[in-house]
Amino acid sequence: MKLKNKDILDIESLSAEEIGLILDTAERMREVSRRPVKKVPTLRGKTIILFFHEPSTRTKTSFDIAAKRMSADSISMAASSSSLVKGETLADTALTLEAMNPDIIVMRHSSAGAPHMMAQRVNASVINGGDGMHAHPTQALLDMLTIREKLGSIAGKRVAIIGDIAHSRVARSNINGLTKMGASVVVAGPFTMLPYGVAELGCEVATSVDEAVEGADVVMMLRIQKERQENFLFSSVREYSKNYGLTRERLMRANEGAIVMHPGPMNRGVELTSDIADGPWSVILDQVSNGVAARMALFYLLAGGRDADSD
């Protein structure tokens, strides 16, 4: 089996079988990162461009490490150092990159749909590294990989996603991916941070954090996306933390063996207390490790795997 499309733009376009293939491949890639020599020659001679129009630390670094561990040539390109600051359109930038004949372009952009536009204009595979408030498919994939690693499966699990749902591309991608893989998802947050019609995505909407956490196998906390809000949609950070932050007392409502996740960056004392972030429930650092494996898997399936199929 191989991926049907040349691009990874969102979770909606992936079938449950394709998600399973990516997660299975990522499990094998995870073993590479545990070796003394963390490198395989699979993508030697391939060129991967990391085009990040938005600031990023963990996602960009994760993609870069993933490329290097596959022996690909990784080239970083920021909007501030590109011709976009000189007035070049994104469409012309796409044509310029295509002329350099890269194999994969990883793109993060503040505008929803920008990676889709890029994918229409280049022959290279395009991976969406996050576009506006729309989608973050690789974050959802690494989250699903972590859930499967820690709990054994995704199907049948109850996942509570709590926080700024309205402005979170991570929430949208996870709701789509988790429900597609058989999990039930419940969301909770301030009314001003819940998008209209969110239940139509296939999730349950809880009226409180306590209700959302009750019986959950996974509790995923999201940060307040202040950079995407025109106005702060809650009276104060302190009140937000009191009403929507995860504490040990609230976590006790979850199922025994429940895990706590956070896509980062994490604000201690706001979304969750330090004893939760550093406690035995937390798999936040496992998410970071699995991010490299998930992205290695995508590079392999889009470049190395396709080449192997065509031989």
265 has binding-site annotation: yes
Among candidate residues 216, 146, 140, the one with its CA nearest the CA of residue 184: 216
Residue 34 labeled ligand binder: no
| Complete domains list, the chain, with CATH | 16-132+289-304 (3.40.50.1370), 137-288 (3.40.50.1370)
Q: Is 86 annotated as a binding residue?
A: yes
Is 262 labeled as ligand-binding?
no
Annotated binding-site residue? 238: no
What confidence score (pLDDT) does residue 1 get?
80
Is 136 annotated to bind a ligand? Reply is yes
Q: How many CB atoms lie within 10 A of CB 230?
A: 5
- pLDDT bin (cut points 50, 70, 90) of residue 283 is very high
Q: Distance between CA atoms of 260 and 280, rounded to whole angstroms?
A: 9
Q: pLDDT tens digits for 7-29? A: 999 999 999 999 999 999 999 99
pLDDT at position 4 is 95
Determine the average pLDDT of the residues in 139-162: 98
Reply yes or no on whether the pLDDT at 311 is more than 50.
Answer: no
Was 46 annotated as part of a binding site? Answer: no
Q: What does pTM read for this prediction?
A: 0.93
Q: Which of 165-174, 196-205, 234-243, 258-267 has the lowest mean pLDDT?
A: 234-243
Answer yes or no: is 134 a known binding residue: no
Using alpha carbons, select from 69, 136, 88, 121 the residue that is nearest to residue 77.
88
pLDDT tier at 180 (50, 70, 90 boundaries)?
Answer: very high
Band of residue 57 on the pLDDT scale cut at 50, 70, 90: confident
Residue-averaged pLDDT of the chain: 92
Q: Answer yes or no: is 304 a known binding residue.
A: no
Give percent above pLDDT 70 in the chain: 91
Q: Say how far apart CA 236 and CA 76 lie, in whole Å.
A: 38
Please give the average per-residue pLDDT across 115-143, as a whole number: 96
User: 228 falls in which pLDDT band (50, 70, 90)?
Assistant: very low
Q: How many CB atoms lie within 10 A of CB 37?
A: 7
39 marked among binding-site residues: no
Which backbone phi and psi does 58 adopt, to 5 degrees? -70, -40
> Average pLDDT in the 92-119 region?
94
For residue 42, what are the contacts with CB-CB under 8 A and spacing of at least 6? 70, 71, 300, 304
SS (H, E, C) the chain: CCCCCCCECCCCCCCHHHHHHHHHHHHHHHHHCCCCCCCCCCCCCCEEEEEECCCCCHHHHHHHHHHHHCCCEEEEEEHHHCHHHHCCCHHHHHHHHHHCCCCEEEEEECCCCHHHHHHHHCCCEEEEEEECCCECHHHHHHHHHHHHHHHCCCCCCEEEEECCCCCCHHHHHHHHHHHHCCCEEEEECCHHHCCCCHHHHCCEECCCHHHHHCCCCEEEECCCCHHHCCCCCCCCHHHHHHHHCECHHHHCCCCCCCEEECCCCCCECCCECHHHHCCCCECHHHHHHHHHHHHHHHHHHHHHHHHHHHC
Q: Are 38 and 148 in contact (CB under 8 A)?
A: no
Across 166-177, average pLDDT: 95
